[in-house]
Amino acid sequence: MTQKQTTYATAGVDVEAGDRAVELMKSAVAATHNEHVFGQVGGFAGMFDVSFLKDYTRPLLATSTDGVGTKVAIAQALDIHHTIGYDLVGMVVDDIVVSGAKPLFMTDYIACGKVIPERIAGIVRGIAEACKEADVALVGGETAEHPGLLRPDEYDVAGAATGAIEADDLLGAHKVNAGDVIIGLPSSGIHSNGYSLVRRIIADAGWELSRDVADFGRTLGEELLEPTKVYTGELLSLYERVPGAVHSVSHVTGGGLSANVARVLPAGTLAVMKRDTWDVPAVFNVLGDLGNVPRADRERTWNLGVGMVLVVDSARAAEVVAAYPGAWHLGEVVSDTGEYRENPDYVQGAKGVDGGAAVLID
């Protein structure tokens, strides 16, 4: 009796499909490369020439890694994948630029149940387009096929990036003082946080992704796949145009507005932010009302239209607002005298950082 042969292909891994995916994505990846990228696409490691750092007095490297979370389930359901690439880049490089650092290069990782070359290439095309927008080189990546662990139509993405900054230019809590002004920058929508809550709401309500929603002016699925705004290029330009005005920056991601602002303030200070200074975009109100989500949960889960927060010198706040379209005066930094500590919306010590505090007030 002839024993059945077991091959990598019969185990569910298609090496040739992986090679086809690489060929499809090569041009998009190469388009992100600048004069600092060393070597070709397809090496075991991406190389980046950092000889320019010798001109720094004290160069610091900044690094960040992240994913997109359960937003990928929406992309998979709609079979639209390139926007997920923008989400990934925004979640990673914008965590670097908040320190004042310029993101230099990025790598990505895609795990999937089955390599569909066109789908993988679509994801990477989105990553590459967002990297190019942020002037970040995509120097490498990995696609891993995990049959039996993920279904054929399932995948997850992650990425990591590295940036650099002169130590004296580092932004953060050490530069913040009571009296500084808090500036809000608009988000493009939900970005990439809180989709487990989003998906539960629409599942419980029985809403289909194809549903036309008048408040959105498009389908529910189109609204939910709106990509994360990539702030890196605009923020680097802002830092140059108003040098020294920005003291600290917060990327509003998981945990909502207050928790993310508190972590970029020094101990003993409090960010007092006012809800009536901006209009919450329709998507948050529609979903929040549909799921009868308490205000506290909305504010702890979603960005509610505030994608970035700048803490700036009060004497230069008007310059900063004028330099960034859509920016607005969100609140102030004050000494934390204890006045708001009994407020249920008061947050201190968020994300493992024993720093300042933040509160949203009406």
The CATH number of the domain where 345 resides is what? 3.90.650.10
Give 233's contacts (C-beta < 8 A, 6+ positions apart): 133, 134, 135
Q: Pairing relation of β-strands 181-186 and 328-335?
A: antiparallel
Average pLDDT on 78-94 reads: 96
Same domain? For 248 and 101 the reply is: no
pLDDT value at residue 23: 74
Q: Which sign, positive or negative, has the C-alpha torsion 92, 95, 98, 102?
A: negative
Same domain, 94 and 77: yes
Coil vs helix vs strand at 150: strand
Q: What is the mean pLDDT of residues 73-90?
A: 96
Domain identity same for 22 and 108:
yes
Query: Phi and psi (nearest 5°) for 259?
Result: -65, -40
Judge contact between 264 and 355, C-beta under 8 A: yes
Residues 21 and 79 reside in one and the same domain: yes
Angle at 331 between CA 327 and CA 335, to 5 degrees: 145
Answer yes or no: do 270 and 242 share one domain. Answer: yes
Residues 226 and 202 placed together within one structural domain of the fold: yes
Domain for residue 51, yes or no? Answer: no
Q: Band of the pLDDT at 44, cuts 50, 70, 90?
A: confident
Is residue 49, in this structure, part of any structural domain at all?
Answer: no
- CATH number for the domain that contains residue 144: 3.30.1330.10
d(CA 259, CA 255): 6
Q: Determine the Cα–Cα distance for residues 98 and 108; give it in Å rounded to an integer.
A: 21
Residue 96 lies in a domain: yes
The number of distinct structural domains making up the chain is 2
> Are 193 and 337 contained in the same domain?
yes
- 101 and 185 inside one domain: no
* pLDDT above 80 for 18: no
Q: What is the mean pLDDT of residues 166-176?
A: 97
Confidence of residue 14 (pLDDT cuts 50, 70, 90): low
At a CB cut-off of 8 Å and minimum separation 6, what does 326 contact? 185, 186
**236 inside domain:** yes
**Cβ(47)–Cβ(105) below 8 Å:** no
Q: How high is the pLDDT of residue 91?
A: 97
Considering the domain architecture, whether residues 90 and 131 belong to the same structural domain is answered as: yes
pLDDT at 47: 86
**Mean of all residue pLDDT scores within the chain:** 93
pLDDT number for residue 181: 98
DSSP E strand boundaries for the chain: 37-38, 47-48, 59-67, 102-112, 137-145, 155-166, 181-186, 212-213, 218-219, 246-251, 269-274, 306-312, 328-335, 347-348, 357-361
d(C-alpha 108, C-alpha 68), whole Å: 12
Residue 207 corresponds to which tokens in the numbers above?
């809403």
Contact 160, 65 (CB under 8 A): yes
Alpha carbons 80 and 78: distance in angstroms, whole number: 5
> CB of 224 within 8 A of CB of 190?
yes
Residue 52 maps to a domain: no
Domain membership flag for residue 120: yes
Q: Which helix (H) or strand (E) holds 93?
A: helix 82-97
Write the DSSP symbol of residue 351.
Answer: G
Residue 7's pLDDT band (cuts 50, 70, 90):
low
Please say which residue of 165, 182, 210 terminates a domain. 165
Residues 276 and 159 in one domain: no
Burial of 322 (0-12, 13-18, 19+ CB in 10 A): exposed
The whole domain housing 73 covers: 13-42+58-165
Asked whether residue 8 is domain-assigned, the answer is no
Looking at the structure, tell me whether residues 313 and 244 fall in a common domain.
yes
Query: Per-residue pLDDT for 210 more than 80?
Result: yes
Domain boundary among the residues 165, 199, 232 is at 165
Considering the domain architecture, whether residues 151 and 108 belong to the same structural domain is answered as: yes
pLDDT tier at 353, thresholds 50, 70, 90: confident
- Averaged over 208-221, what is the pLDDT? 98
What pTM was computed for the model?
Answer: 0.92
Q: Tell me what the mean pLDDT of segment 203-229 comes to.
A: 98
* Within-domain flag for 190: yes
Mean pLDDT for 94-108 is 97
User: Domain boundary at 165, 189, 215, which?
Assistant: 165
- Residue 81: pLDDT above 80? yes
